[in-house]
Chains A and B, each alone.
Chain A
Amino acid sequence: MSRQSYILRRLLQAVVALFVVTTIMFVLFRIAPSDPASVALSPSLSPKLRQAKLAQFGLDKPLIVQYKLYLQNALALNFGQSYFYREPVSRILARRMTNTFVLMAPALLIAYSLGTVLGGWAAWRRGHTPDRAVLVAATLFRSVPSFVLSLVLLYVFSFKLQWLPNGHMVSPTASFSSNVQKFVSVAFLKHVLLPVVSIVPFLMAYPVLLMRTTMLETLNEDFITMCHAKGLTARRVFVDHAVRNSLIPLITTMPIILGLSVTGNILVESIYSWPGIGSVLVQSLLKGDYPLSQGAFLLIAAIIIAGNFVVDVVYSMVDPRIEYN
């Protein structure tokens, strides 16, 4: 199979996955014990007004027609009106997306770079104290739930020491002329510090362990022995040859880390009142604002599926040895 047809097939799979997830959401929300109508509309409405409202949300049509409509709307990124905010779901999500991104991107970046370095270091000192320490630390990192770590950090740095704010993106009174200005302000950096520190350990564990394992495998390969035989210093063999060849498998873990990061974000955003996608999903579900929940979930699923696809494509480009089967 050529690379083009491999990529095409992965794209097709991504589209099918998205379609299946979208359909599951439709089914789930239709079997809800509290159907959308009864949540959104007060029972005191007159039957006539109720009928009009149902028609407005498209809930008076047969299921199959609703499903067709729903798919069409999803394609057009139209997820309807939020019951609670009385605003189009897509507009709310677009705003929230930026906020999630400014939290997620630095966390992922730090987790990956720090994780790679630590994993490499552990492999360099394999069998010695640093290796064991890194291994134990990485396991502890993914064992302490990020909501527990968040609460401990909040207690120490916000409540006891009062160094850092306990939530939100900036203080409520602050105003900024543009998003860029907001995201580079000191106030924002202070607000983003604790949330980032709360997820990074959880995200970091996987790259650390994988980098270490891959390095150990690479170090056993013949070309490394060859490099030693050539008379290269141990350090050069390690950095120029072993590390470089170990970086490729790290790419394949990105979907996993992306998935973990979604999980971590939901928890951390909820704790720090961060106005992102994760916290809006939780809040809308608790309030029964189902169009918003549905939109938020589909957006998250789309990010994950698109992430899987992009990683497959990138991987097929950087590693020519891949077999397309």
Chain B
Amino acid sequence: MSQDASTSTWLDRLDVRTDALRNAYRVVTKTRRGQFGLYGLSVVLFLAVFGPLLAPYPPLQAQVRPNGALVSLAGPSLAYPLGTTASGYDVLSQVLVGARTVFVVGVITGVVSVGIGTTVGIVAGYFGGYVDDVLMRITDIAYGIPLLPFLVVALTILGRSIFAITLLIGLLYWRNSARVIRSSVLSLRDEEFIQKAKTVGASERRILYKQVLPNVLPLSLLYFAFAMGIGVLFASSIAFLGFGDPSRISWGRMIFVAWTRAGTFKQPLWVIAPGAMLSVLIASVYFVGQTYEEVANPELGDH
């Protein structure tokens, strides 16, 4: 009997979790924009996993014609569907291989910034008082740091590794989610169920993990989506300006090389292919986030 009870609570908990995911899926696919976003994200995720396997050529192998001439800046053909770069690399292969870098950068910046933002927001909102004051002043100061200028300066000095880039964006961008999550926790704090948990003697730790965290998680998820979009946008902007990790192929870096090698005009696909992929990824993330937000806040209108 007692064993039955414990299994069922365990199953209940699992159910609640898969329900939350199923719920999120149902919510997001409610609009065509949300569906498009999910498809877009799935495509990029698929490329991030299998892209390097699908690439017809090694991304940094100069393509040579049978007569020994370099296939430089070639237009689209059967052998090279998206043409080649100035150095004779296959554009399609680079796009496929670059997907992984871009996707991983987006996910890590999202996790880092929303992780910090959620923690700061919950702690500031729940404990209030002095802690809140200090944390919010730090957030205010973080808002005074212009992102892209700070990133290019810091990367010049600290070195241009992909880890520095992802970590720095994450460490700067948490401010947005921190503010929103704090105000959500502020209103949660006075809710009856939290007051009741306190009355029956639940520890702070337990209340934070079991009552507060699950209630702000949807919001964190939403800000994760936005942070991921911003992460991809900033990382590719950095790469385009020439401050990216030179050892990684990414869509931003492809456009940087195309621009500096004057390939923009001679072989436009070299820019358009990675540019379109970047736009699709960022738009997908926003579409999913937006739909989630709208359906979660139905009072914002009938759409």
Contacts and interface: CB of A to CB of B under 8 A. Distances in A.
Verify that A and B bind, or say they do not.
Answer: yes
Interface of A: 13-14, 16-18, 20-21, 24-25, 28-29, 31-33, 123, 126-127, 131-132, 135-136, 139-140, 142-145, 147-148, 151-152, 154-155, 159, 213, 216-217, 219-220, 255, 259, 262-263, 266-267, 270-271, 278, 281-282, 285-286, 293, 296-297, 300-301, 304-305, 308
Interface in B277-303: 278-280, 282-283, 286-287, 290, 299-303
B255 A147 contact: yes
**Chain B interface, >50% SS class:** helix
Interface stretch (B71-79, B105-113, B196-204, B267-275): B267-275
B240 A147 contact: yes
Given A13-B137, A285-B152, A144 B279 contact: yes
Interface string B133-149: 00001001101111111
A135 B33 contact: yes
**Chain A interface, >50% SS class:** helix
Interface size class of B (residues with CB under 8 A): 35 or more
21 contacts: A13-B140, A16-B137, A25-B153, A28-B157, A126-B302, A135-B33, A136-B33, A139-B33, A143-B286, A144-B275, A144-B279, A144-B282, A144-B283, A145-B252, A145-B279, A147-B237, A147-B255, A220-B299, A263-B234, A301-B145, A305-B144
Contacts of B146: 259, 262-263, 297, 300-301, 304
A20 B157 contact: no
A263 B151 CA distance: 11
Contacts of A142: 282, 286
Contacts of B272: 152
Given A28-B154, A29-B157, A259-B147, A143 B282 contact: yes
A297 B147 CA distance: 11
B18 interface: no
Q: Which interface residue of B149, B156, B264, B282 has the most chain A CB atoms within 10 A?
A: B149
A285 B155 CA distance: 10
Contacts of A123: 301
A286 to B, nearest CB: 6
Interface in B217-263: 229, 233-234, 236-237, 240-243, 252, 255, 259
A101 B94 CA distance: 38
A147 B243 CA distance: 14
Nearest to A144: B279
Contacts of B234: 263
Contact of A285 (B144, B156, B240, B299): B156
